[in-house]
Structure 1
Amino acid sequence: MTAAAKCPASVVTFRSEHGFSITVARLRGLLADKGMTIFVDIDQADAAAQVGMTLRPTRLIVFGNPKGGTPVMQANPLAGLLLPLKALVWEDEARVTWLAIDDLTGALVDGYGLEASLVEPLVKAKALIQVAAARDSA
């Protein structure tokens, strides 16, 4: 499966200019630099191996900043079903590394009835994922 795999329109995918391990390290570092909390980092390939199955390198990083997420959940506690945010890093069959994030802002505004200004801080997460995928500038 590559970035062309079927997914909702809200999912944004970026091809990484780096290998898998470097991409994961870059993402974790960027999140930390921006004051985000990494709540959990799930190695899904390792989980597959524990049940005798194989999966190409795949990590799900669950992250957020309570300063941004808490007001959203105060306004509508059910928004906690979508928060914290999640980023997926995986390697495809050609050994290309990809990152993806589900841009939840539309769902939070349209589906959960929240004000756009309240969910605006969450928009920054997509840019962080894109930076983690990008080549460093010279």
Structure 2
Amino acid sequence: MTLAAQFPASVATFRSEHGFSITVARLRGLLADKGMTIFVDIDQADAAAQVGMTLRPTRLIVFGNPRAGTPVMHVNACAGLLLPLKALVWEDDARVTWLAIDDVTGALVDGYGLEASLVEPLANAKVLVQMAASRDPA
């Protein structure tokens, strides 16, 4: 599999400086601190275990801020297919933790015909995901 196939251009991927559990906690904390609503936190490894399968630690966190997403969906209801936003946290085979977020702003502008200024607030989520991965300043 090529790197492009693993990480499409719209997906921002960050190597975490922390272990899996700490990374999840940092992301959840940053989202809450910025007024984001965490709608659901799906433990995909647990879901796999429930059907007798194994998956490395993997969590999908679905989140957003209705103040940013509602105006977008008001203009184009089908934008709700991309909203709320989602962040993925997973551990690879080398036990390195990764975070990823699909930057939907381009798709909302190009594919859904929305004004860039309307979707611009959604781009801030990428910064929060990157912050969750980074080492705290000394």
What is the TM-score with the length of structure 2 in the denominator? 0.96
Q: Paired residue for 2:133?
A: 133
* 8 Å contact kept, 2:62–2:85: yes
* 8 Å contact kept, 2:39–2:62: yes
C-alpha distance in 2 between matches for 1:5 and 1:123? 23
Percent of pairs identical after alignment? 86
Q: Paired residue for 2:48?
A: 48
Q: Paired residue for 1:103?
A: 103
Aligned in 2, Cα 1:111/1:5: closer, same or farther, shift over 3 Å? closer
* Paired residue secondary structure (2:61): strand
The gaps in structure 2 that reach 5 residues or longer are: none
* Paired residue secondary structure (1:137): coil
1:124 matched to 2:121? The reply is no
Q: Paired residue for 1:57?
A: 57
Q: Paired residue for 1:114?
A: 114
Compute the RMSD of aligned alpha carbons: 1.3
CA deviation profile, 1:94-114 (whole Å, cap 9, x unmatched): 000000000000000000000
Q: Paired residue for 1:75?
A: 75
Q: What letter matches 1:114 in structure 2?
A: L
The gaps in structure 1 that reach 5 residues or longer are: none
Q: What letter matches 2:88 in structure 1?
A: L
State the number of aligned residues: 137
Structure 1 residue ranges (4+ consecutive) displaced by more than 6 angstroms after TM superposition: none
1:90 matched to 2:98? The reply is no
* 8 Å contact kept, 2:109–2:115: yes
CA deviation profile, 1:109-131 (whole Å, cap 9, x unmatched): 00000000000000100000000
C-alpha distance in 2 between matches for 1:5 and 1:58? 19
Displacement, 1:4?
7.1
Displacement, 1:7?
3.1
C-alpha distance in 1 between matches for 2:17 and 2:8? 24
Aligned in 2, Cα 1:132/1:4: closer, same or farther, shift over 3 Å? farther
What is the TM-score with the length of structure 1 in the denominator? 0.96
* Paired residue secondary structure (1:124): helix
C-alpha distance in 2 between matches for 1:5 and 1:49? 26
